[in-house]
Amino acid sequence: MYIEVLVDSQGRIYAQNDRVQESMLHAWVKNYLNSQPAFLYNDVVYRIYGDKNISSGVISNVVANLLKGYDHQIQVKNTYLMFRN
């Protein structure tokens, strides 16, 4: 199961195209996963895309909140920084 998360240049967070407050991100993850049909594997992969101007502290907070939302041991995070020309 993949969950796509975008942190834009103003620090706004979008998870699967829903705008989510950072403090509510763990609840969003829990609700999102509970609303999905049963998935074959127990792992969740978070793909986190962030604007290059976002501080690493903001990304770290997002990651921490995502990981709180699903209490299974197998979770993977991939973080990508977006550069604009």
DSSP assignments along the chain, one per residue: -EEEEEE-TT--EEETTEEE-GGGHHHHHHHHHHHSPP-SSS-EEEEEEEETTS-HHHHHHHHHHHHHT--SS-EEEEEEEE---
Amino acid 56: pLDDT? 80
Alpha carbon of 60 to those of 36, 37, 42, 68, 85: distances in Å?
26, 29, 23, 12, 25
Amino acid 28: pLDDT? 94
Whole domain around residue 47: which residue ranges? 2-82
Amino acid 24: pLDDT? 94
How would you write the pLDDT of the chain (85 residues) with one tens digit per residue?
788 999 988 889 999 999 999 999 999 998 998 888 776 656 788 888 888 888 888 888 998 898 888 876 555 666 666 655 4
Amino acid 25: pLDDT? 93
